[in-house]
Chain A
Amino acid sequence: MAVKVYGPAISTATVRVLLCLEEMGAQYELVPIDYSTGEHKSPPHLARNPFGQVPAFEDGDLMLFESRAISRYVLRKYKSSGPDLLREGSLEESAMVDLWLEVEAQQYDKAISAIYIEIAIKPVYFGGVPDEKVVAESVEKLGKVLDVYEARLSKSKYLAGDFLSFADLSHIPYTHHIVASPHASLFESRPHVKAWWESLASRPAYKKVTAGTPTSK
């Protein structure tokens, strides 16, 4: 039976899970959740995700939320049909994957999501105007994080080592939008970060999942 992912295709967290499913060649059904009607706060969806967020994920009797936890489950379940993106057979390698996943979740995500919310979410969904001060502060913060990434990626091909891992893929959802925005220079100006991004963006799973995802211009 195919697994189900509940969420809008454009939601960055939903994209994270879809990328993993595509990388592993898994069969899945995407069930859209309509934010404009408040479906994410409806009782059926709250039963899937008590925080009223997306995505939620269903595999038979198993219901999960939090995209990074869902992704880990997917990568383990379909382990034999795709690349080894968690490296759980090696203590050292999996430790590096976990480390850079935490960096993504705690450092990168905070700065880049703030930019995306201001320049894409506010104007498009709330008819608002970007707060330039927040954008400037977030751009500066992201720049400092990317300086660390530039140093790291000058020593190893991917974040956790010379192998692609879920730590790299987890960066795709927001980065996809920011490289198509006026703030692309954050990535363009750092040669190793740029090469790393281009490598991720060349993957078929990336192209397939983001095909219908509008980016802010």
Chain B
Amino acid sequence: MGSVTVYGPPISPAVSRVLACLLEKDVVFNLVNIDMSKAQHKSPDFLKIQPFGQVPAFQDEHTTLFESRAICRYICDKYADRGNRSLLGRRGGGLVERAHVEQWLEAEGQSFNPPSSTLVFQLAFARQMGLPQDPAAILLNEGKLAKVLDVYERRLQESRFLAGDEFSLADLSHLPNGHYIRAGGKEEFFTSRKHVARWWEDISMRPSWRKVVEMQRTPPA
């Protein structure tokens, strides 16, 4: 293979979302580090493949993409027969099962992501970047995230994974920020909610995610 390249550091939540998907799909890839501390993501060369100057960027033969959730959809589409084949719903599940996966994928992108991203930045990245933490922002977004996870708790009481009985892209999409929130000392968000805790344990113990966490701990080449 060797035709797939991901640009960006594994510690970036959005980059790690793509890496998790590639690993779930057993797709071989090259990882090219982008040194954000040196503003490589704002270089003219990088802006040609990602005009918003963010990570990740992605190339597969002649296809260039960005936006991690769109890249994940592409990987599931192009490599449909490899690795985990149920990420966007099972084959026999039709339009309905796909719709359920996409509903929770949107819930991640629209409801879980905004407050969790702010918390991840505040807890995991701000100090590293020499920026002061904002206690008001932390408090506000903790409140928002709590409300979202209360909805998840009720859902996961009736369903093993968000979209149904199978692990899907909707669950996967939560791994990057969820991981940093736990690692950042806020594990009570998950542990205080019985069904969310069970779900988190299930999805974060998957070999694909454990491999991503290992990549995050490895210094870039």
Residue numbers of A with Cβ under 8 A of B are: 50-51, 62, 64-70, 72-73, 76-77, 91-92, 94-95, 98-99, 101-103, 105-107, 145, 148, 151-152
Q: Secondary structure at chain A's binding surface: helix, strand, loop or mixed?
A: helix
Residue tally, chain B, CB below 8 Å to A: 30
- Smallest Cβ distance from A27 to chain B, in angstroms? 17
Which residue in B51, B65, B109, B155 is a CB contact (below 8 Å) of A151?
B51
A70 proximity list for chain B (CB < 8 A): 99, 103
Q: Which of B68, B98, B105, B107 contacts A51 (CB 8 A)?
A: B107
Q: In the complex, how many angstroms separate the beta carbon of B41 from the nearest chain A beta carbon? A: 14
| Nearest A residue (CB) for B69 | A102
Report yes or no: A148 in contact with B51, Cβ–Cβ below 8 A.
yes
Give the chain A neighbours of B155 by CB distance below 8 A: 50
A176 to chain B, nearest CB (A): 20
B128 vs chain A, min Cβ distance (A): 23
Please determine whether B103 and A95 come into contact, CB atoms closer than 8 angstroms.
no
Q: Can you list, as one digit per residue, whether each of B79-101 has a CB less than 8 Å from chain A (1) or not (0)?
A: 00000000000000001101110
B26 at the interface (CB under 8 A from A): no
* Cβ contacts under 8 Å, A65 to chain B: 103, 107
A101 neighbours in B (Cβ, 8 Å):
70
B70–A98 touching, CB < 8 Å: yes
Q: A91-B78, A99-B65, A103-B52 are in contact. List 4 more A-B contacts (CB 8 A).
A: A91-B77, A98-B67, A101-B70, A102-B67
Given contacts A94-B77, A95-B65, A50 and B70 within 8 Å (CB-CB): no
Task: Judge whether B103 and A66 touch: CB under 8 Å.
Answer: yes
List, sorted by A's number, 18 A–B pairs whose CB atoms are closer than 8 Å: A50-B154, A62-B99, A65-B107, A66-B107, A68-B102, A69-B106, A73-B95, A73-B98, A77-B95, A91-B78, A94-B77, A102-B67, A102-B70, A103-B52, A105-B109, A106-B67, A107-B52, A148-B52
